[in-house]
Structure 1
Amino acid sequence: MLKEAFIELKNRLGRIPYLVDFIRNHSIDPTVIIGKLNTYYAFLHKMKENVPVLNDYEQRVLTMFSRELLDGKRKHELILVKSLLNTTEITKQAYIHELDDNDCLIDTKIFNSIERVMDLSFFSQTDKKKYGDNPIITISSDEQYTFNPTVRNSLMRNEYFQYLVNDLVEAGLERSRKYKPDSLLTINEKYTRKDACKLLNWDNDESSTMYGYKPKHQTCPIFVTYHKDDVESSVDYGDAFISPDVFKWYTRSNRTLKSKEVQKIIQAEAKGIDIHLFIKKDDDEGSDFYYIGEVVPNQQTVEEDTMRDKKNKEIPVVHMNMILEKPVEHDLYRYITSSNE
């Protein structure tokens, strides 16, 4: 499918298409290509195109930009990279003006998150290694952002590397139009657990240990698979919409009303913790969940109960009704709740 889309677009344009071309010509979403091969450079090699050579580190930087920025879910980093493609360094104040001009949400937590993404400290060791280990963009003591010397030299020395980075940034900015720049997350759009860690401004990617939910940094993302497979459903969770604006939610098993994490969620409003609900219809959706919006627990519905585990043993669990800030849109509500049978 990717090969056919590539050939069709190449014939239409009369040249090798690049990431932004797929978007502007309403072809396939370029993130699909990146999901398969990490970079468009690798894809062009797969298509046996004769293109200039990138060294190993340039490919690693391109992998980071492709996997972490191309989706456009937060345009802040894209704006920073674009600014640094046009100038050697940019002051934090000038960057703030750029973000302001693009109607982007700005606060200290977001800046901290952007800097941790661009110096790679947000990522797991595995990802860091994949992305070249070294900070890609750093901020100096006098608050100047700049590419690290190796990246800067590559951009000056290798025009093709610069072209690919620029193409990726333009494609990312095109994709970012579907997301609200003045919100951390956009209702009805899809996100992974890793996206939630990043976009809720967590210090690190904790997606590997998030499981169904995790209260941290005054936020608590909740991830629900609505129609569970046989393994999951063997533990009797009853997560379900009661109506488009009320969702009945169960904690992890072996939790009681006294559990610390449960208390944090019950007292979320009083403690200033923002709870964000993400739902996918079933596991066929992969690792992406629809963002349903912010929710608050209805105190009157909080109840400790029991459920049966895989060995049919009764174990404690807490459930409560979550009130949605905004009702789920009709079409998405019908899609998620409808049976697969």
Structure 2
Amino acid sequence: MIPLALSGDRSYNKDTLRRYVQAGNRIIPGTSTVHFDKIAKQRIYESIDTARFSDMKLIKEAYFNLRFKLGRIPKIADFADHGSIDVSRIFSKFKSYHHFLIKIKDKDYDISFTPVQERMLHFISQKLTIGMRARDLIVLQALLDGRDDIINYVSEELYNNYNVDLSEYGRINLINMMTNRFGVQVAQKTFEDSEFIEFSNGKYGISQIFKQALEDNNFKEQVQELVTYGFKQFNEKYKDNIYGNTPFALYEKYTYEQVCLLLEWPQNEVPLNIGGYKFHKETKTYPVFINYHKADDIQDTIKYEDRFENPGLLKAISKNKRTFTSDDVQTAFNADALGVAMHLFVRKNKDDEESKEFYYLGPIHSTGQENAKEISMANGTAAVELEYVLEVPVRDDIYDYIVNG
């Protein structure tokens, strides 16, 4: 409970809670101070590691406390308005708020939906309500409002209200997302029939399956609640924190899938295909993913020693069996000249089953072949150690947590 009390954070995200403990005095307002000695920190970390924040009991307790306080079934917005558990915890555990209410058998909740409607609520709850970007939510709101020619409408909205040009790759990415073609095959099966738009008469409009689903007023009301919540998330967490011309907010956390989506790739890539980085030729984007602390028993072929030299300088190891002449290494060396955007994402604890996200630390730039070196891994496999300058030196509390926490 200590990091929860200090931070006021109700997401129950283990990585976030660990960082609050490491940050110590930095997060306490006013003249108050707090200090944890090494043993106290270790004990708190152990408690966080063993805590079951996705446990049904924790979520039910938070729900019924809020329900008792309000005297009714809470709306989605009520959880944030009354400082209760982050509703995203419910989405990740129970697919959707509707599914949660069915699961706990609240006697006052008697709404039922078709399997198709339930999958659509699941998709919107888990994929879109986080609010990382406005365009997906604009599509849904436009459909709820009965608008037509959706992609062109979204393009105009993004330009007029967000100063964003929707590129051709962005259009394809958005269409694939809203027709359930962005996810890998397993995800497409999970969210089967979650197609919100379809092409007809030369333009994209509402799909027949979504149009039919919206004829149920209870369903339409719940979709509207989710869209409103998503826009609130975007406005509070992302809108004013997007860095430069990137689609990312500095120091926010992203999964592999979310990075692929925001970089406007036509389809998600499974983490195994990305590895530590992946260059996407069409969009000229090159995300670099680093697991800063790795397990001692990790295979020698991938036992890279990525490290910060200081908050503005990073040493990162290539994939194995690479030399200076390898295509991905050459692309990294010459990214600026080639117009390739490289982005850095760092994760503290790869083994945390709940925290699958990476901190976005901004654009990075290779200092060139002259500051790199070809190395041999412990098992003799060739690799390249590259040097990168961070466009924005890592903020003190984040740096301290990643390097020393």
When the two structures are superposed, what TM-score results if normalisation uses the length of structure 2?
0.78
Q: Which residue of 1 aligns with 2:312?
A: 245
8 Å Cα contact 1:83-1:90 kept in structure 2: no
Are the structure 2 counterparts of residues 164 and 264 from structure 1 closer, same or farther at C-alpha, using a change threshold of 3 Å? same
In the alignment, residue 136 of structure 1 is paired with which amino acid? F
Higher mean C-alpha deviation, range 214-223 or range 228-237: 228-237
Q: Which residue of 2 aligns with 1:136?
A: 196
8 Å Cα contact 2:257-2:269 kept in structure 1: yes
In the alignment, residue 75 of structure 1 is paired with which amino acid? A
Matches within 5 A, 1:172-191: 172-177=230-235, 178-180=237-239, 183-191=246-254
Q: Which residue of 2 aligns with 1:220?
A: 286
Match of 1:259 among 310, 326, 337: 326
Are 2:337 and 1:270 aligned?
A: yes
Q: Which residue of 1 aligns with 2:101?
A: 44
- In structure 1, stretches of 5+ residues that fail to align are none
Cα displacement (A) at 1:133: 4.1
Q: Which residue of 2 aligns with 1:162?
A: 220
In the alignment, residue 65 of structure 1 is paired with which amino acid? I
Are 2:333 and 1:287 aligned?
A: no
Are the structure 2 counterparts of residues 63 and 229 from structure 1 closer, same or farther at C-alpha, using a change threshold of 3 Å? same
Q: Which residue of 2 aligns with 1:65?
A: 124
Matches within 5 A, 1:120-131: 120-131=180-191
Q: Which residue of 1 aligns with 2:140?
A: 81
Q: Distance in 2 between matches of 1:30 and 1:13?
A: 16
8 Å Cα contact 1:256-1:318 kept in structure 2: yes
- In structure 2, stretches of 5+ residues that fail to align are 1-57
In the alignment, residue 192 of structure 2 is paired with which amino acid? G
Cα displacement (A) at 1:206: 0.6
- Give a deviation string over 1:230-256, Cα, whole Å, max 9, x none: 233755421011111111111112211
Q: Distance in 2 between matches of 1:188 and 1:233?
A: 29
Are the structure 2 counterparts of residues 221 and 10 from structure 1 closer, same or farther at C-alpha, using a change threshold of 3 Å? same
8 Å Cα contact 1:250-1:319 kept in structure 2: yes
Q: RMSD of the TM alignment (CA)?
A: 1.9
Q: Distance in 2 between matches of 1:328 and 1:124?
A: 33
Cα displacement (A) at 1:19: 2.2
Q: Which residue of 1 aligns with 2:88?
A: 31
Cα displacement (A) at 1:40: 1.2
- Give a deviation string over 1:205-237, Cα, whole Å, max 9, x none: 013311211111311111111111123375542
- Give a deviation string over 1:124-151, Cα, whole Å, max 9, x none: 11111111246321244543x4221121
In the alignment, residue 79 of structure 2 is paired with which amino acid? F
Q: Distance in 2 between matches of 1:102 and 1:2?
A: 37
Q: Distance in 1 between matches of 2:147 and 2:113?
A: 21
Match of 2:398 among 324, 332, 335: 332
Are the structure 2 counterparts of residues 58 and 200 from structure 1 closer, same or farther at C-alpha, using a change threshold of 3 Å? same
Q: Distance in 2 between matches of 1:243 and 1:4?
A: 44
Cα displacement (A) at 1:163: 1.3
User: 4+ residue runs of structure 1 moved beyond 6 angstroms?
Assistant: none
Match of 1:192 among 231, 250, 255: 255
Q: Distance in 1 between matches of 2:233 and 2:163?
A: 15
8 Å Cα contact 2:285-2:340 kept in structure 1: yes
Cα displacement (A) at 1:60: 1.0
Cα displacement (A) at 1:101: 4.8
Q: Distance in 2 between matches of 1:279 and 1:86?
A: 40
In the alignment, residue 303 of structure 1 is paired with which amino acid? K
8 Å Cα contact 1:251-1:317 kept in structure 2: yes
Aligned residues: 333
In the alignment, residue 168 of structure 1 is paired with which amino acid? L
In the alignment, residue 267 of structure 2 is paired with which amino acid? N
Match of 2:275 among 198, 203, 211: 211
Cα displacement (A) at 1:259: 1.5
Identity %: 31
Secondary structure of 1:89's counterpart equals coil
Secondary structure of 2:375's counterpart equals strand
When the two structures are superposed, what TM-score results if normalisation uses the length of structure 1?
0.92
